[in-house]
Structure formats: C-alpha cells, structure tokens
Structure 1
C-alpha cells in the first residue's frame, strides 16, 4: 500500500499497524538537544534556572507565540498604507464583433503593463481599532511569555528544594541506620555478657532492618526527585550532576511583608492577571472596530500603464499600435443593509469584552485566595522550623542519655528503641521543616509575582 493511499484503521478493536514507509514519510524525526551538565560542578538554584530558561521548550513555545502576535500588529498596521502592485498581461484572441449587419473577424494580440494603486483614505477608525486590538493582544502575549518564565522558575525551584529534601531525608536515614547498627551491637554485647535476652537482640536487629528499609526508600525518593529536576531543566536524568546542598543555603527566619501588601503586590505585578486585563483592552477595541462599520469608507484608486497591440481584420492588412493608459477613481462606499451582520458582530464583541472582564475578576479572586494561603503556609513553616530545631536537639539529648543508661543497665532496650525512633523522626522533621521554609517562601513569591524578578541569579544578570 502506498503512503498516499493509506486508510483509517479497519477495525475499532485493534491498534493501527502503520507500515515502515508511512512512518518514514509522515512521522519526521524531531531532534531535541540535550543539555550538557558538568558532573564536577555543584549547580546553584540560579544556575539551574538559567539552564531551564534557555533550554526548556515551554519558554520557546511562548516566545514564538509572542513573535506571532508581534507580526499580527505589523499586518494590522499595513492597512494604513496604500497597496501598490504591478502587472503584465499578454493576450491573443479572435473576436468577431458585429458591425452593421455582419460579423467582422478580428485577430488581435495584446500586451499591457500597468501599476495599480489602492488607498483607503477614510474609514472612521476601523483600521486604528484593529491595530489597537492587535497591540493589546501583543502585550497580553508578552505578559503570558513572562508568566511562562514565572511558572518555569517556580517549577525548577520546587524541584530543586524537593531534591534537597529527599537528599536530607536520605542522609538522615543513613544516620538512623548507623544508630540502629550501634544499638544492635550494644544489644549483642549485653547478651554476650548475660545482661540482655534474645528478644532484646531480635528487637534491635528488627530495628536495624527497618532503618535499612527506610534508607532504601529514601534513596529511591531521591532518585525520583533528581529525575524531576533534570526534566525541569531539559536535561537527561541518566547523566548525574551535583547541586548546592541544603546546609549551604540561608534559611529565612521572618517574612518581610504583611499579607495585605503581598496581595496588593500580586494584583499589581502578576503577569497572568495583567495579560487578562490586556485582553479586555483588545476586546474593547474589537467593539469599536465593528461599530465603525456603520460609517462609510472613502478610497482612492489609480492605474497607469502602457498597451501594445497587433491586430488584423479580415480582408484588411494587419496593424500595430501602442499607447499610454491611466485611470483614477474616488469611491465612497456605505453599507446600508447587511442582514444584521454588523449588529450581531457588535453583540458578539461586547459579550467577549464582558467575558474578558469576568475573567479578570475571577483571576483576582483566585490570586487573593492563593496568596493568603501561601502566606499562611510560610508563617506555619517558620514556626515549624523553630519547633523542629528544638525537637531535634531534645531528641538527640534524650537518645544519647538512653543509650548510655542502657549500656549501664539502667534502661531497657524498649526505652532506647523509642528514643531512637523519636530521634529518627526528629531528624526527618528538621530536614523537611528547613526545606519547607524555602518552598513556602518561594511559593509565596510565585503567587505574588515577586519570583519573576527576585529569583536567584546564575550566570546571567
């Protein structure tokens, strides 16, 4: 079967099996350049954001949409200028015109060249309104482009912090396993000395196996988080690279603005909200454009050229002639009735304008609600960070005391296991609390739009 004669699948209950020829002809190979990461460097968040903005396909897609909108403005502006075109015509025909009471056969060859000019002089704002609408759509597209970057910065930041959290939990799990092994060794030593029973040793061994299981789970979660980050920056997760660690980052200890200021800033600078407002401007310009259709248009046409012709009339010798030609016209066009097309177009445009305004109000409500929620999450994260730090210090002290007491025969193994579990939980909570502060602050900056200008910078200013 030829590729050009392919059909739809013959049965609804089986997959379509395309031929190799069809796939080669209609499924082109689209190359995707892989980001080359240096395995020796430890990338900062700013550098990762730089890489993502330069290579992630979503930013390029949004950029091309903005470029298309810019071209649409140029197309709309071109209507303000005259149209000038040249043409040449070659024609040969045999024409029998009726002269008096008989047809006279004429054989004519004609060649004409001319330049034609069309220019709309007055249209009562139709073209200007179209330009305004296109310009507003361009502004909306540019703001959407900024929103794409904002979304990408948020995605990379959260993926980065998720990886730091996963690595912190893996490191905590490794320490927990080390402690569990030490406890098992202590239990073995006490049993060898007749100070502990076999159930005590088995409990310690089970705790060590549980710690190892938790470590393997943490390792798997870390690999998954690394893959998410690599995907966000358009890199391949099969090639390892390093990132700056959690201990090297500054953890904020307070918010620098009130929730009222945060919501107000979001209303002023969120690019998606500003894009929705620009769409209102575009919709209003469309209303003006269709309203101007009720008025007449005044246009000017001119044409000048040169005609050369050779002709012969039956029974007479042939002849050749040439001459200059020109034509000018001033036209006033006024649509009296069009089947209510203008009325319906205006109604449609007004409805679209109202729809655009409602979209702005809906987006404002969403932004206010989400900024409020993100602000409260940041406040909660700060308090949890303080509590987690205190819990870790207390748990470490309690665990150390329990182990020493167990070695001295004052405490039993169950007390030590409980203290060890509490310490393991405290380590995990401390890591999660620190990364949650960073995540919540980044989430708040994303919701307010501050993240677009205040995100960490890498190699580019």
Structure 2
C-alpha cells in the first residue's frame, strides 16, 4: 500500500512529465522553420527562395504616394511642402532623433530609484539527512516583496552620461534639419531641371516652326524658279533635324518629370503641372560677399553644428570615463510578506506567515579592473580627437564648397546677360537673313546658319536662366540659408 507522500508524489511527476513533453513538442514546432533555412548551396547560381519562406520571413511594406491635384499648378514652395510631408528620408531622420531622445530618457532614469514588485511561489519535496536516516520534507512558500535600489552618490558618472546623451540628441536633431536642407535642395534642383527641359522643349518647338518657315520660303522660291533643288532638300533636312531635336527634348522633359515626382514621392504617371520659367524672378546680383557667405555657412550649416555637438558628446564621454575611478554609494532595501507551509514524513504539517524587510548600504570602489578604465579613457579621448578633426575637415570642405558655388553663381549671372544679348542678336540676324533670302539678296546657306544659331541661342538662354536659379540655390544650400529662406508654400 502506497504511503501518503507517495500518493502526493505521483500526480506531481505526471504534471512535470506532461509539461516536459509539451515543451519538447513546442520546441520541435518552432525549430522546423529554422531547420528549413539554408545558405545557398553553391556560389555559382542565385538563391531561389520558396514562396513559403518569403511569406514567413519577409514583410510587405505598403507603397506610399503623395496625393497630387492634376489641375493645380504647383509652385516650388508647394512642391517643397509635399516633399517634406511625405519624404521617407525626413521621416527616418525624425525617428532617429526620437530614438536618441529616448536614450536621453534612459540615461536620466539612472537618477531615480528602481522599484521592483516580486511575487513568487515555490514548492519542493526533498530528503534531508536527519540523524541516521533521510527524512522527506515537503515545502510550499509564497513570497511577495517590494524591492528598492538607488544609487546615492557616484561622483558625476550619471550626470556626464546624461550630458553625452543630450549632446547626441542635439546632433540628431541637427541631422534631421540637414535632411530637410538636402531635401529642399533636391526638390529645387529637380524643379529647375524640369523647367530647363521644358524650356528646351519649347525652344525646340519654336525652332521647328522656324525650320518649316524656312522650308516654305525655299519651296516658294523654287516654284518661282529662284531656288535650286538642293536648297529645298537642305531645307527639308533642316526641318527633319529640328523635328528630331524636338523629340529628344520631349524625352528629356519626361525624364525630368519622373525625377521631380521621385523627389516629392508622387506618381510620375499622373500629370504634374508646375509654374513655368517665365513666371519666376531671376536674380540679377549677389547680395553678399564670399567672405560673408563662408561665415554664414560656419554659423548656420546644420551638418557642421551636428559635428560640433558630437564633439561635446565625446567630451562628456571622457568625463564619464574618468568618473569610473570614483566610488559609488548605493542603497538596497526591501519589504515583503511571506507565508509558508511544510511537513516532514510521519509528522504533522506546520504553517507560518510574517512580514520581512532588509536594508543594505554599500560603498563600492573598484581598485583594479585589468586597466579597463585606463583603456576606456584612452578610447574616449581618441573619439574626442576624431570628432574634433571631423569638424575641422567639415570647415575646410564648407569653405571650398561655398567658394566654388559663389564663383558659379557669379559666372551664371554674367552668362545670363550674355545669353540674353545673344538671343536678341540671333533673332534679329535670322529675321534679316530670311527676309533677305526671300528678296534674293542672301543665299540659302546664310539662312540655315542663322536659323541654327538662333536655335542654339534659344537653348543657351533657357540654360542660362535656369543656371542662375540653380547656382543661387546651391549657394544658399552651402551656406545653410536655404533651410529658412526657401520658397514657401502653404506651410510657413
């Protein structure tokens, strides 16, 4: 006949056995997918995943498309608004800044005590050697406890870590601003590139019309016996070339539409209307010296400011590494309530409950750690020097960038004036050559040369106007002014 303890022990073993079997079964199920994963068998052919693996181990991300009003004519400011509201790069930079802000909160949490509430239940059956025999003891304990741990003094270790985290947050916020600055420039340049392509397409249309006019004049003179067949054929060839150039310009315009749609996260298939080049004000002078532009860049460039914030973070990390040489004073305390039941074989059981508490005040001072602290300080100082040199390199880079873009902007202004004069002269020359040809004073080759020169002058004028806009935008980008002085849409 089984004893009372043997009767109690049997259900316990059954429960434990069943739990163990369930755990083994779950482990087998969960490991099937892991066992099914293999690296490519050879380096010679691509890996061909099965459909089940793709569904199980990849996540489909929904595409995002900025809404566009097909009838609205968008200004540059409105295009920038759309891009800033929908760009994945600014969204990612924003979330990186939020991650860094959370790290500041994590660092600050060290200033507060840690409070842990714990509840545990324990039961076990084991033999104890009592005198000459083993005696079975059955225990059951239920314990609740509130535990408090707090660092009272650490000689600035926590404060320096918080300072470093705060400096990194400033750097992340400035990097977020820099992403906006880059995005504004990308939208502006894509917009100006589209205007250039559209202007070149319009110029090609006018040039094709001029070629047809010249061809008509040659045919009229041929009917009157004043022109030769080669002249008419040359006129037709010039018209065909103008038609070819127009198709190239149309294709280039479509490419730029796609580039602008990409920057503002729109669908290039849908029509996108933008303000034409003729409605934009073309700057006619530079309003600051190159020295002022460089100084402005040193003051306002967010990427340089972010690098400077990283220097501050590195300096705080050096102080934090030094703080490891000092002791820390901590307090640990707990208060709880415990109740327990126990019995020995062939003895009556007993029950007890009571409140419990504990308190510990500890002074910890690391005497030797295998030169860990010394190496940590050396590492932190090296990182500080790296960050400092990166600032200096950025300053040199900014100086060169501003100098080059300032020179490009000044050159674009001069080229704009020359292009306007060239267009005016070429237009008058073509008109005079065509009229003289109709009157029989000039030959046909003179008309073709004037026509070709006028087509080139139109293209140069379009390029020169957009070049001024692009170089001025580049200069504002290099100085950082573009972040606050860019064209505004609906957002202030």
Give the structure-1-normalised TM-score: 0.97
Partner of 1:450: 481
Q: Does 1:114 align with 2:114?
A: no
Quick one: distance in 1 between partners of 2:379 and 2:97?
25
Identify which of 125, 135, 147 aligns with 2:166: 135
Deviations 1:150-206 (A, max 9, x none): 000000000000000000000000000000011011111111111111111111111
| 1:236 partnered with 2:264 | no
Aligned length: 461
Distance in 2 between residues matched to 1:224 and 1:200, nearest whole Å: 36
| Cα displacement (A) at 1:106 | 3.2
5 Å matches for 1:187-226?
187-226=218-257
Matching residue of 1:303: 334
1:6 aligns with 2:37: yes
1:408 is aligned, of 430, 436, 439, to 439
CA distance in 2, matches of 1:31, 1:336: 56
Shift of 1:329: 0.6
Paired position in structure 1 for 2:87: 56
1:435 matched to which residue of 2? 466
Aligned equivalent of 2:407, options 360, 376, 393: 376
Give unmatched runs, 5+ long, in structure 1.
none
Q: Distance in 2 between matches of 1:128 and 1:162?
A: 51
Distance 2:468 2:361 in 1: 72
Q: Return the offset for 1:3.
A: 8.1
Residue aligning to 1:343? 374
Deviations 1:208-229 (A, max 9, x none): 1111111111111100011000
**Residues 373-382 or 312-321, more deviating:** 312-321
The 10-residue stretch of structure 1 (294-303 or 29-38) with the greater mean CA deviation from structure 2? 29-38
1:59-78 matches, within 5 Å, as: 59-78=90-109
In structure 1, how many angstroms separate the alpha carbons of the residues matched to 2:346 and 2:38? Answer: 63
Q: What per-residue deviation string (whole Å, max 9, x for no partner) do you get for residues 52-83 of structure 1?
A: 00111111110110000000000000000000
| DSSP-derived class of the 2:324 partner | helix
Contact 1:3 1:21 in 2 (8 A): no
What corresponds to 2:393 in structure 1?
A: 362
Cα deviation, residue 105, structure 1: 4.3
CA deviation map 1:398-429 (0-9, x unaligned): 11111110001000011111111111111111
Question: Would the aligned equivalents of 1:118 and 1:301 in 2 still touch at CA under 8 Å?
Answer: yes
Q: Distance in 2 between matches of 1:3 and 1:161?
A: 52
Is there any run of 5+ residues in structure 2 with no aligned partner, and where? 1-31
Tell me how far 1:11 sits from its aligned partner: 2.4
Correspondence list, 1:170-181, <5 A: 170-181=201-212
Q: Which residue of 2 aligns with 1:124?
A: 155
The equivalent of 1:352 in structure 2 is 383
The structural deviation recorded for 1:246 is 0.3
Identify the match of residue 333 of structure 1 among 360, 364, 368. Answer: 364
CA distance in structure 2 between the partners assigned to 1:183 and 1:314 by the alignment: 121
Hey, what's the Cα distance between the residues in 1 that align with 2:52 and 2:83? Answer: 37
Give the TM-score of the pair, scaled to structure 2.
Answer: 0.91
Query: Which of 93, 116, 135 is residue 124 of structure 2 equivalent to?
Result: 93
The match for 1:255 among 257, 268, 286 is: 286
- Counterpart for residue 420 of structure 2: 389
Whole-angstrom CA distance in 2 between matches of 1:296 and 1:103: 49
Q: CA deviation at 1:435?
A: 0.6
Q: Distance in 2 between matches of 1:105 and 1:187?
A: 122
- Residue 255 of structure 1 aligns to a residue whose secondary structure is coil
How far off is 1:124 after superposition? 0.8
| Structure 1 stretches of 4+ moved >6 Å | none
- How far apart in 1 are the matches of 2:63 and 2:257? 20
How much does 1:348 deviate?
0.7
Query: Are the counterparts in 2 of residues 3 and 22 from structure 1 also a CA contact under 8 Å?
Result: no
CA distance in 2, matches of 1:80, 1:282: 19
Distance (whole Å) between structure 1 residues aligned to residue 76 and residue 257 of structure 2: 13
**How far 1:122 sits from its partner (Å)?**
0.6
Q: Deviations over 1:289-342 (max 9, x none)?
A: 111001111000001111111122345322111111111010011111111111
Deviation (angstroms), 1:15: 1.7
Give the Å deviation of 1:24: 2.0
